[in-house]
Amino acid sequence: MALVGDLKDLRLPSLIQLNCMERNTAKMTIAYGNKYGFIYFDDGQVVHAEFDPEMGEKAVFRLLTLEDGKFKVESGIRAPIKSINTSWNNLLLDGLHKIDSFVESDEKKNHYLLEKIFTVRGVRSAELINLEGERIASSNSSEGDIGYVYALTFYEANKTGNLISNGNPQFISIAAGSVRHIVIPYKEDLILIIHLEIKIKLDLVLDMIKKAIS
């Protein structure tokens, strides 16, 4: 049975991540006006894409710019050729970086930032808060409103760093239950909170997180 929907409800980066994380072999068709694009997955990797006149990675990058359109995902259909050799998370991250470079709206920039964070293995959710703890953007509307706790934690860590002349911390890691919360300064007045699965080793994902937010 095919999965069908609208890109306004489920954005393409999330669709790509979903198919890759579930190691699907499938064909995704994107209808945009009178044009059609195609992305093929093989065992959880993006192996081919088309969006006239582009093919391969360039086709994926163009498709990622679409903010509306219809999609259909059909399982078990293999790609006719292989035009992409880049790992799916690097492919998605590169595409989102390219889009972010010409986006002017702060709201859209924040949105793409959170989508880039989801290319990191083990991320459950992410949010962006200001120094007062107010939520600016979030990947999960059901999260509790406890941004002030992270803001206070960040403030106290900075104060401690200054007292011992070590400077401000690059990040703060808080393990609680099955989740690890990573608190990272982002720009001058914002804090990025990333919620990771506790089983993911922090040293394995820190470089990926830095690459995503660079």
d(CA 156, CA 140): 26
Q: Supply the pLDDT for residue 162.
A: 59
pLDDT of 35 > 90? The answer is yes
Beta-strand pair 70-75/3-6: antiparallel
What is the share, in percent, of the chain residues with pLDDT greater than 90? 36
197 and 135 part of one domain? yes
pLDDT of 110 > 90? The answer is no
Query: CATH no. for residue 163?
Result: 3.30.450.30
Tell me the H-state helices in 22-87.
Answer: 57-64
* Domain that residue 18 falls in: 3-89
Q: Does residue 116 fall inside a structural domain?
A: no
Higher per-residue pLDDT: 181 or 77: 77
Count up the domains in the chain and report the number. Answer: 2
pLDDT of 14 > 80? The answer is yes
125 and 207 part of one domain? yes
- The band of 168, judged by pLDDT with boundaries at 50, 70 and 90, is low
Contact 111, 96 (CB under 8 A): no
Q: Does residue 105 fall inside a structural domain?
A: no
79 and 9 part of one domain? yes
129 and 188 part of one domain? yes
pLDDT of 163 > 60? The answer is no
* DSSP-derived secondary structure letter, 201: -
d(CA 3, CA 163): 55
| Domain edge (last residue) among 74, 89, 104 | 89
Q: CA Rg, the chain, in Å?
A: 19
74 and 126 part of one domain? no
Lowest mean per-residue pLDDT among 80-94, 100-114, 142-156, 176-190: 142-156
| Domain edge (last residue) among 89, 104, 137 | 89
132 and 190 part of one domain? yes
- The band of 42, judged by pLDDT with boundaries at 50, 70 and 90, is very high
Record the tokens describing residue 132, joined without a space.
């007062």
Q: Supply the pLDDT for residue 81.
A: 96
Q: Supply the pLDDT for residue 165.
A: 56
Beta bridge partners of 211: none
76 and 147 part of one domain? no
Higher per-residue pLDDT: 185 or 73: 73
84 and 125 part of one domain? no
pTM of the predicted structure, to 2 decimals: 0.74
Q: Does residue 196 fall inside a structural domain?
A: yes
81 and 125 part of one domain? no
| Domain edge (last residue) among 89, 105, 129 | 89
128 and 202 part of one domain? yes
